[in-house]
Amino acid sequence: MKTERYEHLYTKIRESIEHPKNSTALMNCMQRGRDKRSDALAVLPGGAAFREDVKKTKDRCIEQQPELLARFVANAKKRGAQVFIAKDGAEAIEYVLRLAEKRGATIVAKSKSLTTEEIEINHPLLEAGFKVIETDLGELIIQLVGEKPYHLVFPSVHKMAEDVAEIFTKATGKTVPNDIPAIMKVVQAYLRPIFLEAEIGMTGANIGVAENGAIVIETNEGNARLVSSIGDCHVCVMGMEKIVDTVEDAMLMVLAHPVSASGQLPTTYVTWMAGRSPLGEGPSRHPRESHIIILDNGRTEMRDDDSMREALSCIRCGACMNVCPTYGVVGGHTFGYIYPGPIGIPWTAEVHGLEKAGDFASLCISCGLCKEICPAQIDMPMMIAEVKHRDAKRNGHPIVENVMMGADCAARAASAFAPLANAVMKNKAARKVIERVAGISAERKLPEFKRDTFVKRFARHKPNVSEPKHKVAFFVDLYANYNAPEMAMAVVHTLEAAGCEVLVPQQMSSGYPYIAYGNLDRAREAAAYNVARFAPYAEDGYDIVATEPTAAYALKVSYPKLLKKSAKSIAVSARTYELFEYLLHIEADQKSNEKPLAGRRFGFHVSCHQRPLGSGEGAMEWLRKRGATVALIETGTCCGMGGTFGMKTGALGYELSMAVGKPLFEKFRESGVDTIISESSVCAIQLAEGVGVPVLHPLAVLRI
């Protein structure tokens, strides 16, 4: 793949890094969104458990979509609405143009609608001579400056008060003070005649209810209620995936939308509309009409695509954007086409084309955080991997991605020639050559390789467990084998001291880089290889222990997905543990007064792939039981390394990686800890460089 494709992307990334005003505002907004969501979940009965209900409801409704669509249309028509199913954006736009001409409309007032953004309906209406005004404040700001939304929920989050004052000064011809209350008064005066004079009000819909043909619109400003009710004609444009079965289903979504987006319970205005009542009299009035345009625009094909179907469960809350590390730096104008952020990649691929999605899909570093925060538990990382996979089939992978995906072979070779390989990695001139040829950043300090690997050491090891209480199959992965064999041997000794028989089955690396960079054929090969070798042990009662969080995640989460939940992959997943989770489990009945870490204070970093596995609680508790004081230091998002992403050179690698990590580096410095604990080998590299203090594996602290 030629790098020219990404030159525009590199430029936009560097602009974001060099001029951080927008990203600072965006990251502050994202942090508030995450914090308020956490606060809301703390008081919501059941906490985050509502996500299970949302997933089940969306899965059921997408499965029943043809029947629900037919029932919604029938019931909406019974209530007097006119319903049109548009196969694509062109058909939807043509319907609105004909309607506006028929009614002699001049002004179309719009409330916030992502579906109308998707089909870019404003442009053809304006070209046809209609005055189209966005009435949501964020959307209005964006419209006045001719930009696309920066965020699904907060479209103008990158505009400061002084920017907005200047925008409305130009729009009104009057000086607007740089003061939020003053700006709001100007906006109200600007919009009031629009609400009153518009002949057509256009909205989207958050939900359609098949049971009664109603639509539900959620806003915080009340503008959708004004737009849909004052004029004689209301037009709703909604995607067919928004239709649910019952009012109870709709009520669940009314909860899920705001709590996921901004921690609200619920939005300020929740409007339920089912048909329209007559209003006023006189020969000059048009009859009041309600038109519902249900948009397909690729959704039927998406539903029939097993790899992309899950995207239809998106409820447009923007939670994935609030946690995405690279989106937080570059924003939606870079990380997106029309739909921004993580969910924007599969949606763009399906409704706007694979090429457009491929242009920014590489901004996903496959940290998995979007899946962990999504109210519908959509597996965005795997869908994005599929987009990358399909794009690479057409365009190939950049050289550096092929290098990263070949880490198995590279590590084996570097270990075999360890003294020479290590000398080369320390040589600045050699590193510059490697950077130019292979794309690995010369600025990134890489770990040394050991010729005497863990596998060689384990072959010489003589176990000393006469009557084992537990049986463990150890999944080592690359770093522990080739770079830190002494740490891997410490794992073996620790397990044996706890009464475990330990063996090391034949294995290859976890293969997660194949997922991250979108080579799903090779990812499935790696999954099949490792599952075939570990499944017999799992079925024979062995527990599988991994020290690298990403490896444990691959075994527990990724492999069953890649292998279509085969019986063997499920068996491996069910018996896989992180090391310290397992140690706590088998030490549960043991009591010890020994506190070798008493008086020690550590800052702990939880890596992204640890979050669904227990968020590092096992390691922190293990350290605390040995007397240490451990504080979890985090921002709620990634450290920026993103597996091997931060090892790549340039804007789409090291530079962006360090910009993502900057807030976390500052938090660690502010904490005052002199040692950081992390179970992730790559996170340790990032934090050591970014913070400038030692980063150790939990087992290593017992040896210092």
Q: Coil, helix or strand for 420? A: helix
237 and 113 share one domain? yes
> Residue 597 has what pLDDT?
92
Domain annotation covers residue 30: no
Range of the domain at 537: 454-586
Domain annotation covers residue 659: yes
Q: What is the pLDDT of residues 436-478, one digit of tens each?
A: 999 999 999 999 999 999 999 999 999 988 899 999 999 999 9
Q: What is the pLDDT of residues 19-60, one digit of tens each?
A: 998 889 999 999 999 999 999 999 999 999 999 999 999 999
Q: What is the pLDDT of residues 200-249, one digit of tens each?
A: 999 999 999 999 999 999 999 999 999 999 989 999 999 999 999 999 99
Element (H, E) at 503: strand 500-503
Contact 172, 146 (CB under 8 A): no
CATH number at residue 491: 1.20.1050
CATH number at residue 609: 3.40.50
230 and 115 share one domain? yes
> Residue 588 has what pLDDT?
74
What value does the mean pLDDT take over residues 89-106? 97
DSSP per residue over 46-82, as a string?
TGGGHHHHHHHHHHHHHHTHHHHHHHHHHHHHHTT-E
**Nearest 10 degrees: Cα torsion 701, 551, 566, 611:** 70
Q: What is the pLDDT of residues 371-387, one digit of tens each?
A: 999 999 999 999 999 99
Residue in the block written with tokens 């075994």: 555
Element (H, E) at 474: strand 470-475
Q: How much is the mean pLDDT over the chain?
A: 95
Q: Which is nearest to 412 in space by CA: 451, 461, 443? A: 451
Contact 440, 649 (CB under 8 A): yes
Helix axes 681-691, 656-671, angle to 10 degrees: 70
Distance CA 415, CA 685 (A): 19
What value does the mean pLDDT take over residues 62-81? 97
Q: Does pLDDT of 659 surpass 60?
A: yes
Q: Coil, helix or strand for 165? A: helix
207 and 122 share one domain? yes
Q: Does pLDDT of 2 surpass 60?
A: no
CA atoms within 13 A on the CB side of 449: 22
Cα distance between the two ends of the chain: 47
> Residue 287 has what pLDDT?
77
Local confidence band at 65 (pLDDT 50, 70, 90 cut-offs): very high
Domain annotation covers residue 172: no
Local confidence band at 1 (pLDDT 50, 70, 90 cut-offs): very low
Residue in the block written with tokens 């991994």: 546
What value does the mean pLDDT take over residues 124-136? 97
Q: Does pLDDT of 589 surpass 80?
A: no
Helix axes 407-416, 418-426, angle to 10 degrees: 110
366 and 463 share one domain? no
Record the pTM. Answer: 0.95
Q: Count of domains in the chain?
A: 4
Alpha carbon 86 to its chain centroid, in Å, reads: 30
Q: Could you say which of 396, 413, 438 is where a domain stops? A: 396
80 and 222 share one domain? yes
576 and 537 share one domain? yes
> Residue 560 has what pLDDT?
98
> Residue 283 has what pLDDT?
60
Q: Does pLDDT of 153 surpass 60?
A: yes
468 and 573 share one domain? yes
548 and 638 share one domain? no
What value does the mean pLDDT take over residues 529-542? 98
Contact 86, 92 (CB under 8 A): yes
Contact 36, 263 (CB under 8 A): yes
Task: State both tokens at 681.
Answer: 């080998």
Domain annotation covers residue 474: yes
What value does the mean pLDDT take over residues 94-121? 97
Domain annotation covers residue 460: yes
Residue type, 429: A
Q: What is the pLDDT of residues 172-191, one digit of tens each?
A: 999 999 999 999 999 999 99
118 and 224 share one domain? yes
119 and 214 share one domain? yes
Q: What is the pLDDT of residues 277-311, one digit of tens each?
A: 766 555 656 678 999 999 999 999 999 999 999 99
Q: Does pLDDT of 704 surpass 70?
A: no
490 and 581 share one domain? yes
124 and 256 share one domain? yes
> Residue 285 has what pLDDT?
62
Q: Which is nearest to 77 in space by CA: 187, 262, 188, 212? A: 212
Give the percent of the chain with pLDDT over 90.
93
Outline where 374-406 has alpha helix (H).
Answer: 380-395, 399-405
Domain annotation covers residue 227: yes
CATH number at residue 230: 3.40.50.10420
Give the percent of the chain with pLDDT over 70.
97
Domain annotation covers residue 429: no
Backbone angles phi, psi at 543, to 5 degrees: -95, 145
CATH number at residue 330: 1.10.1060.10
Q: Coil, helix or strand for 119? A: coil
Buried residues in 510-520 as b, exposed as e (16+ CB within 10 A): bbbbbbbbbbb
Domain annotation covers residue 263: yes
Element (H, E) at 14: helix 7-18
Q: What is the pLDDT of residues 599-642, one digit of tens each?
A: 999 999 999 999 999 999 999 999 999 999 999 999 999 999 99
Q: What is the pLDDT of residues 639-657, one digit of tens each?
A: 999 999 999 999 999 999 9
Q: Could you say which of 552, 586, 620 is where a domain stops? A: 586
